[in-house]
Structure 1
Amino acid sequence: MSRLGFYFDMERCIGCKTCQVACKDKNNLDIGILFRKVTSFETGVYPKPGTYHFSGTCNHCADSKCLKGCPTGALYYADDQTVQHDKNKCIGCRYCVWNCPYGVPQFIEESGTISKCDSCKDLRDKGENPACVDACIMRCLEFGDLDELAKKHNTSVLVQDLPILPSSSVTDPSLLIKPRNCALIPNFREKEM
């Protein structure tokens, strides 16, 4: 088995945020805390404007900067190579928050520790999909073996790099994206919602 990760079809995404809400609900997150976040962007100007949405979460990177920054071993690679968090080892130092170029780990005030997407490991261990995948009404998200996902979705059109993201060479994310053409344009603006 190769690495596990997410596939995101940007061409299908309508920015409804159902994946974001399902994740928030499944993880019982407080206001202001998101493990999956949908962000909308604009490119170009009239007569060729563009808009696209990006649904981002932990990329379970092969060269995980959050894991390398954790002094207690609270962040670790599970047997399936996803990046997991042991809340009992976490001291809330936030080194992982500062080290992750994607801004994924979230500090939870109530517990004084961080938390993050675990790709719904509890559901996956029961043979189910992550909550965000099943919630997506447009079927934009999938989770699984990256090699199989690449074959299924035509490797030639998939990317890991977008102007809105840090370079994939920094962390080697476990993420495959089918981009909209306008998402490849380097001049973009985040849409205010």
Structure 2
Amino acid sequence: MNSKYAFYMDSTKCMGCKACMIACKDAYNLPLNVNYRRVAECVGGDWFIQPDGTYSQNVFAYYLSVSCNHCNDPKCVAACPTGATHKNENGLVVIDASRCVGCKNCSWNCPYSAPQFNEEKQHMTKCDFCADRLAQNLAPVCVLSCPARALDFGPTEELIAKYGRANIAPLPPSHITQPNLAVNPHQNSVKATTNTTLLANKEEM
């Protein structure tokens, strides 16, 4: 089942403030080191000395805000031995806490590391696209909190048709899970299929 909703992230607007990350953490009272949304700082490039002694550079940096992408081919669902992690009737990937045994297979198999073990609850947890808010026709808290309006959400078919599935480093190539995430790439962004060395700073809070 395809997701009815997709996240949209405009990397040209994101300034790495982490307001989305903090708003999500506050709304769901998440403990230390459990973050449903993360902001990666992607940097690369180098400086080069020229024959005349001057320097040139191809240094770049951009930010990418990512949570669970509620993929069309979710590896977390395939890896779950109890069926706790599953796609619901709205196409969202969710976790049934009553069936979760905390084996962490879902997290180990998700290339985005979206599912996270909550020590306090003793089961896996993850972004559910603010399902309760969606049921009330309200936007996810991360979308509302972004001061630069770099985050949005909408119908999957519409966003993917306009922007394509996210295929930007440091994310894995989109063909692996078919993520329901559309990204307007930064002018310096690097495709996920390149071999460029990147540093993705995913700060824990």
Structure 1 length as normaliser, TM-score?
0.90
Partner of 2:53: none
Partner of 1:107: 117
Rounded Cα–Cα distance in structure 1 between residues aligned with 2:120 and 2:167: 35
Partner of 1:97: 107
| Aligned partners of 2:12 and 2:185 also within 8 Å | yes
Aligned residues: 189
1:146 pairs with one of 146, 156, 160? 156
Partner of 1:161: 167
Rounded Cα–Cα distance in structure 2 between residues aligned with 1:190 and 1:175: 18
Distance 1:67 1:36, change over 3 A: same
Residue 175 of structure 1 deviates from its aligned partner by 0.6
Rounded Cα–Cα distance in structure 1 between residues aligned with 2:125 and 2:3: 25
Q: Does 1:173 align with 2:183?
A: no
Rounded Cα–Cα distance in structure 1 between residues aligned with 2:197 and 2:166: 18
Correspondence list, 1:13-52, <5 A:
13-46=14-47, 47-52=57-62
Rounded Cα–Cα distance in structure 1 between residues aligned with 2:136 and 2:179: 25
Rounded Cα–Cα distance in structure 1 between residues aligned with 2:4 and 2:132: 18
Partner of 2:52: none
Q: Equivalent residue of 1:182, what SS?
A: coil
| Aligned partners of 2:37 and 2:66 also within 8 Å | yes
Bigger radius of gyration among the two: 2
RMSD, aligned α-carbons: 1.9
| Per-residue CA distance 1:135-176 (angstroms, 9 max, x = gap) | 01111111121222346xx43xx5521231112111110011
Rounded Cα–Cα distance in structure 1 between residues aligned with 2:172 and 2:23: 26
Rounded Cα–Cα distance in structure 1 between residues aligned with 2:36 and 2:165: 22
Partner of 1:130: 140
- Runs of 5+ consecutive residues of structure 2 not aligned to the other structure: 48-56
Structure 2 length as normaliser, TM-score?
0.85
Q: Equivalent residue of 2:188, what SS?
A: helix
Residue 190 of structure 1 deviates from its aligned partner by 3.2
Residue 111 of structure 1 deviates from its aligned partner by 1.8
| Aligned partners of 2:21 and 2:35 also within 8 Å | yes
Q: Does 1:61 align with 2:71?
A: yes
In the alignment, residue 80 of structure 1 is paired with which amino acid? N
Rounded Cα–Cα distance in structure 2 between residues aligned with 1:69 and 1:82: 16
Q: Equivalent residue of 1:160, what SS?
A: coil
Q: Equivalent residue of 1:128, what SS?
A: coil
- Percent identity over the alignment? 37
Rounded Cα–Cα distance in structure 1 between residues aligned with 2:15 and 2:46: 20
Range that drifts further, 161-170 or 7-16: 161-170
